[in-house]
């Protein structure tokens, strides 16, 4: 419980309504942290390591593995803070910021030498991600995990896109079950306060008509049935109403999967976005991935055309 306590105390020093303390305290903590991180990076570079990334209390380094313990001890002596090694990666991918294209501070995925993944900032880690998308990214990671190092990673991209192809085909064939398609969104305002006609509004409006209120701060779960419809009842179906209709039929949600209709285009686009999220550093945009799926049986031709580079 020590770390949560310290993190909470640090955050409270920057809270504008804190009844005690000053913002200078928060700024000083940040300044000391930055200086320790910068000095640690300088020490690492002097010892022949390349600093790939650093944030708050962590650094990602590339360099001589047999000298890493010496580096850890030197940084610990200089900073007065104990250090530990989290692991050695076989490969690591830093994902770009969606706005600037520069590497984001907290979005990456990698594979440790012991086969364990480290995932941050991708859809698979988020609680509101549909099961369909979670399954896609998990399958892509399984394919990429066969790469023994960074040099082999690009060669495994065709296998990852083959996973995308298989899941996309299932979506476009209408073969997905309702459980895989559920979108979860946090409600930010009451249904009367919505000014945009979007999927969340349509789900809330239907629930209100059935006497079910979802207050701001709670979550609403629904499936998109027709993303272009202007009638809320045709655009989405909230999970509560889907379950109620199934119960009235004396059946289960699983058994209702075959006749269930959903917007295949919307979910196909979600798959493309999730695949782009993982492969964007290698030049795979949603448009390029869609072109590959429509025009080729294998992505290998795309790699060959680029001279072996993504």
Query: Which domains, from first to last, does the chain contain?
Result: 2-127 (3.90.1600.10), 178-261 (1.10.132.60)
pLDDT digits (tens, 9 = 90+) for 174-193: 999 999 999 999 999 999 99
User: How buried is residue 94: exposed, middle or buried, by Cβ count under 10 Å (0-12/13-18/19+)?
Assistant: middle
pLDDT digits (tens, 9 = 90+) for 66-110: 999 999 999 999 999 999 999 999 999 999 887 766 777 789 999
Q: Are 124 and 136 in contact (CB under 8 A)?
A: no
pLDDT digits (tens, 9 = 90+) for 228-238: 999 999 999 99
Q: Are 280 and 198 in contact (CB under 8 A)?
A: no
Token code pair at residue 152: 């082999």
pLDDT at 205: 97
pTM: 0.84
Percent of the chain surpassing pLDDT 90: 73
pLDDT at 160: 98
The C-alpha atoms of residue 237 and residue 230 are separated, in whole angstroms, by: 13
The C-alpha atoms of residue 103 and residue 85 are separated, in whole angstroms, by: 23
Minimum mean pLDDT among 76-80, 291-295, 305-309: which range?
Answer: 305-309
pLDDT digits (tens, 9 = 90+) for 267-292: 999 999 999 999 999 999 999 999 99
pLDDT digits (tens, 9 = 90+) for 41-54: 999 999 999 999 99
Q: Give the CA distances from residue 141 to residues 92, 94, 307, in Å, rounded to whole numbers and listed in that order.
A: 12, 14, 24
Query: Sorting pLDDT into bands at 50, 70 and 90, what band is 5?
Result: low
């Amino acid at each position: 419980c020590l770390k949560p306590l310290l993190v909470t105390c640090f955050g409270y020093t920057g809270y504008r309504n804190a009844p005690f303390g000053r913002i200078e305290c928060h700024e000083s903590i940040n300044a000391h942290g930055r200086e320790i991180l910068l000095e640690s990076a300088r020490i690492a570079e002097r010892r022949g390591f390349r600093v790939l990334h650093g944030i708050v209390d962590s650094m990602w380094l590339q360099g001589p593995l047999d000298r890493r313990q010496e580096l850890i001890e030197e940084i610990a002596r200089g900073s007065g803070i104990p250090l530990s090694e989290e692991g050695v990666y076989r490969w690591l991918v830093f994902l770009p910021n969606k706005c600037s294209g520069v590497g984001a501070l907290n979005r990456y995925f990698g594979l440790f030498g012991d086969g364990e993944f480290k995932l941050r900032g991708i859809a698979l880690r988020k609680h509101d991600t549909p099961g369909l998308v979670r399954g896609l990214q998990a399958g892509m990671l399984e394919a990429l995990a066969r790469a023994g190092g960074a040099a082999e990673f690009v060669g495994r991209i065709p296998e990852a896109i083959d996973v995308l192809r298989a899941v996309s085909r299932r979506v476009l064939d209408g073969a997905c079950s309702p459980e895989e398609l559920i979108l979860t969104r946090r409600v930010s305002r009451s249904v009367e306060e919505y000014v945009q006609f979007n999927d969340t509004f349509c789900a809330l409006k239907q629930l209100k008509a059935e006497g079910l209120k979802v207050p701001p701060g709670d979550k609403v779960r629904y499936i998109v049935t027709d993303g272009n419809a202007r009638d809320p009842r045709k655009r989405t179906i909230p999970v509560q109403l889907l379950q109620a209709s199934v119960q009235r039929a004396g059946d289960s949600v699983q058994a209702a999967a075959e006749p269930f209709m959903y917007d295949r285009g919307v979910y196909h686009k979600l798959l493309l976005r999730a695949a782009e999220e993982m492969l964007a550093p290698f030049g795979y945009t949603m448009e390029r991935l869609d072109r590959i799926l429509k025009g080729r049986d294998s992505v290998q031709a795309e790699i060959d055309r680029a001279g072996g580079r993504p």
